[in-house]
Amino acid sequence: MRGSGRQRLADAVVGGCFIVALLVAWELAGDAGWISGYRFPVPSKLADAGWELATAGFPDGVTIWTHFVVTLARILQGFALALVTAIPLGILIGRVAILDWMTLPLITFARSIATLSLLPLVITWFGAGELAKVLLIAYGCFWVMLTQAIAAVKYVDPIYIRAAQTLETSQSDIFVRVILPAALPRMFAGARTALGVGFMVIVGAEMIGTVKGLGALVMEARRFYRTDLTIAGMVTIGLLGFGISIVLQWLERRLLPWSRGIEDVRRT
Amino acid sequence: MTASRITRVLCGATGVGFVLTLWEIAARSGLVSPETLPAPSHAIVATLRAVPPYDLLQDVAISLGRVAVGFAVGAALGVVIGIGAGWYRWFGALLRPLLELIRPIPPLAWIPMAIIWFGLGESSKVFVIVLGAFFPVVTNAYKGMLGIEPSLLRAAQTMGVRGVRLLLEVALPAALPDIAVGLRIGWGLSFGILVAAELIAADSGLGYLIMHARELDQIGVVIFGILAIGVANLVTDYAIGWLIKRGVGRWHAV
């Protein structure tokens, strides 16, 4: 798009140096006492905090690995729950026009309900346990996935279907061999967005009734005035988010070689 | 309005009516206990009884105000930084990696640090909302700048448009559709974060209203509040979409 390989390398070096310079300045300013070590714990202290989380754990021996796995499991459970319900329903609604018209306002409204506003409701209904958290994440993922699944089936290029019909393909074959493969790229894009939404909700969901999970970790550490642990937890959440998007990109390339890429899908 | 459009609207109304009726019947017949899920009519009545209408309006106004302020600050920063990073090469090279590093951290994860940096008052809530609005806007503004048709810029240059004028009069309008998309996503995200932000020691706003109602076991008020936040989000989103269509849609299909 812009710039040659060499220019890009130069850009990356500039950006990297800027980050390193910031970190060094932060460390020096902290050591000199210009910024409060409590409000802005210096990088070296953050590294110690990371080590403490990995070995001793916080709170009470819960190591960062446990937090990480617990959070990841919650996200994946909620995400999976949303996918198995939203995709079949979306395919059905996308294929039957009258269902699509009937559900459109409902889905639009359900999407605009803030997932976190359901927090008090899920606590009342399901308690502050694991189920409430998973359902909250599932809700966030569900509507995005549903909307995209409907659109994916609805906007399959009619030429594909007509071409299959002229070859006297049976209805079920058209569905399995033409419509589904053509709809998959958009569905995958939907799943990606849905997972992103679920990820946004996780900290809110983990605010209730737990000390395990990365969201619980950052909140709990603040209550004990351990800002270094809070920031170390935030960095871990960021890494998790980054890792998830990398894995999804890789999966898409592997699973959907006929996809023209997310950008083209969005434009149709 | 064509016939098929009327059919669609009618179908949509039927769908909504169907769900509301089903809900009302389920709650009134005792299939679902009213303490679990009160009928919509009960939720409205219960809310009006428990919360004076004036207080309710005040909560709505306060919440909208928080979202609006946070969004305005976040969006303004996002537009300026995104455009700057797309236009001035060194600026982009300097800031992009830093932003990419911070972006995967969801805004809610900043809540504890927001409390430590800004205390329990209004500014910590707004800060979290600012983060929610900032990242979608900055990402889309940058993308919009990079996606500008180079021939547009070259054509303007041959006609003697240079420097800041080239940026403001040619590049900026060309990047507007992408910026508009970012603004709309940012607004939705700000709303999504509102409730969590209002969990920070709030004593007003819709988020506080529903959390407080849960403690008092006023489930009707909780449901009313959830729907009210949804309606506020939907209405403002349509308003922004309409503004965008009027402002940007003139020369672009959004």
Looking up residue A235, the CATH number of its domain turns out to be 1.10.3720.10
Q: Using CA atoms, how far apart are residues A95 and A178, in angstroms rounded to an integer?
A: 13
Distance from CA of B91 to the nearest CA of A (A): 9
Interface check for A241 against chain B (CB to CB < 8 A): the answer is: yes
Please tell me the pTM assigned to this model. 0.87
Residues of B in contact with A39 (CB under 8 A): 116-117
Suggest the residue from B125, B195, B208, B215 to mutate for an interface test with chain A (most A CBs closer than 10 A): B195
> Could you tell me the maximum CA-CA distance found in chain B, to the nearest angstrom?
76
Give per-residue pLDDT as tens, B79-92.
999 999 999 988 99
What percentage of chain B carries pLDDT values higher than 70?
Answer: 96
Interface check for A159 against chain B (CB to CB < 8 A): the answer is: no
B128 within 8 A of B197, measured Cβ to Cβ: yes
What single string gives the DSSP state of each residue in chain A? --S-HHHHHHHHHHHHHHHHHHHHHHHHHHHTTSS-TTTS--HHHHHHHHHHHHHT-TTTT--HHHHHHHHHHHHHHHHHHHHHHHHHHHHHHHH-HHHHHHHHHHHHHHHHS-GGGGHHHHHHHHTTSHHHHHHHHHHHHHHHHHHHHHHHHHTS-HHHHHHHHHTT--HHHIIIIIIHHHHHHHHHHHHHHHHHHHHHHHHHHTTSS-S-SHHHHHHHHHHTT-HHHHHHHHHHHHHHHHHHHHHHHHHHHHH-TT---HHHHHH-
With CA atoms as reference, the chain A residue closest to B108 would be A203
Cβ burial, residue A63 (10 Å; 0-12/13-18/19+)? middle
Q: Looking at the 3D structure of chain A, how many domains does it have?
A: 2
Confidence at residue A137, expressed as pLDDT on a 0 to 100 scale:
94
A128 phi-psi bin (left φ>0, alpha ψ -120 to 50, beta other): alpha
CA contacts within 13 A on the Cβ side of B53: 2
Q: Using CA atoms, how far apart are residues A218 and A209, in angstroms rounded to an integer?
A: 14
B224 within 8 A of B43, measured Cβ to Cβ: yes
A133 within 8 A of A119, measured Cβ to Cβ: no
| Structure ipTM | 0.85
Q: At what angle do helices A227-255 and A43-55 cross, to 10 degrees?
A: 70
Report which of B12, B16, B13, B21 is spatially closest to residue A100, judged by C-alpha positions.
B12
The CATH homologous superfamily of the domain defined by B39-247: MetI-like (1.10.3720.10)
Interface check for A216 against chain B (CB to CB < 8 A): the answer is: no
A220 within 8 A of A144, measured Cβ to Cβ: no
A178 within 8 A of A153, measured Cβ to Cβ: no
Residues of B in contact with A120 (CB under 8 A): 210-211, 213-214, 222
Give per-residue pLDDT as tens, B137-182.
999 999 999 988 889 889 998 988 888 889 888 899 889 989 999 9
Report which of B141, B145, B146 is spatially closest to residue B182, judged by C-alpha positions.
B141
With CA atoms as reference, the chain B residue closest to A223 would be B112
Q: Using CA atoms, how far apart are residues A138 and A185, in angstroms rounded to an integer?
A: 21
Q: Which two tokens stand for residue B83?
A: 């455009």
Confidence at residue A179, expressed as pLDDT on a 0 to 100 scale:
87
Q: Using CA atoms, how far apart are residues B146 and B164, in angstroms rounded to an integer?
A: 17
Residues of B in contact with A235 (CB under 8 A): 105
For residue B69, the SS3 value is helix
- Residues A26 and A49 grouped into a single domain: no
Confidence at residue A1, expressed as pLDDT on a 0 to 100 scale:
44
Residues of B in contact with A2 (CB under 8 A): 146
Amino acid at B48: L
Confidence at residue A56, expressed as pLDDT on a 0 to 100 scale:
84
Confidence at residue A259, expressed as pLDDT on a 0 to 100 scale:
63
- Residues A150 and A226 grouped into a single domain: yes
Write out B158-200 in H/E/C secondary structure. HCCCCHHHHHHHHHHHHHHHHHHHHHHHHHHHHHHHHHHHCCC
A180 within 8 A of A192, measured Cβ to Cβ: no
Confidence of residue B7 (pLDDT cuts 50, 70, 90): confident
For residue A134, pLDDT beyond 50: yes
The highest-confidence range among A50-59, A72-81, A181-190, B154-163, by mean pLDDT, is A72-81
- Residues A119 and A182 grouped into a single domain: yes
- Residues A156 and A258 grouped into a single domain: yes
Confidence at residue B249, expressed as pLDDT on a 0 to 100 scale:
62
A226: Cα separation from own chain's centroid:
27
- Residues A24 and A107 grouped into a single domain: no
- Residues A18 and A123 grouped into a single domain: no
Q: How many inter-chain contacts (A to B, CB under 8 Å) are there?
A: 170
Other C-beta atoms lying within 10 Å of the C-beta of residue B163: 7
Confidence of residue B254 (pLDDT cuts 50, 70, 90): very low
Suggest the residue from B2, B11, B59, B139 to mutate for an interface test with chain A (most A CBs closer than 10 A): B11
CA distances from B236 to B149, B190, B231 (A): 32, 12, 8
Cβ within 8 Å, pair A113-B233: yes
Q: Which two tokens stand for residue B17?
A: 């009516």
Cβ within 8 Å, pair B104-A241: yes
- Residues A142 and A243 grouped into a single domain: yes
Distance from CA of A183 to the nearest CA of B (A): 23
Domain ranges for chain B: 1-32, 39-247
For residue B209, pLDDT beyond 70: yes
- Residues A80 and A116 grouped into a single domain: yes
B126 within 8 A of B69, measured Cβ to Cβ: yes
Interface of A with B in 35-54 (CB under 8 A): 38-39
Give per-residue pLDDT as tens, A69-105.
999 999 999 999 999 999 999 999 998 888 999 999 9
CA distances from B203 to A46, A106, A185, B63, B92 (A): 34, 32, 46, 11, 41
For residue A63, pLDDT beyond 90: no
Q: What share of chain B is helix, strand, coil (3-state, %, to 5)?
A: 80, 0, 20
Interface of A with B in 78-97 (CB under 8 A): none
Cβ within 8 Å, pair A12-B18: no
For residue A262, pLDDT beyond 50: no
Q: Using CA atoms, how far apart are residues A94 and A99, in angstroms rounded to an integer?
A: 8
- Residues A122 and A105 grouped into a single domain: yes
Cβ within 8 Å, pair B223-A245: no
The residue count for chain A: 268
Confidence of residue B130 (pLDDT cuts 50, 70, 90): very high
Interface check for A129 against chain B (CB to CB < 8 A): the answer is: no
Cβ within 8 Å, pair B104-A242: yes
- Residues A163 and A70 grouped into a single domain: yes
Q: Tell me the residue range of the domain where A136 lies.
A: 43-267
A209 phi-psi bin (left φ>0, alpha ψ -120 to 50, beta other): left
- Residues A247 and A134 grouped into a single domain: yes
Question: Using CA of residue A160, residue A165, residue A167, residue A169, what is the dihedral sign?
Answer: positive
Distance from CA of B213 to the nearest CA of A (A): 9
Report which of A101, A215, A76 is spatially closest to residue B196, judged by C-alpha positions.
A215
CA distances from A152 to A81, A87, A143, B53 (A): 19, 10, 14, 43
- Residues A152 and A223 grouped into a single domain: yes
Residues of B in contact with A227 (CB under 8 A): 112-113, 116
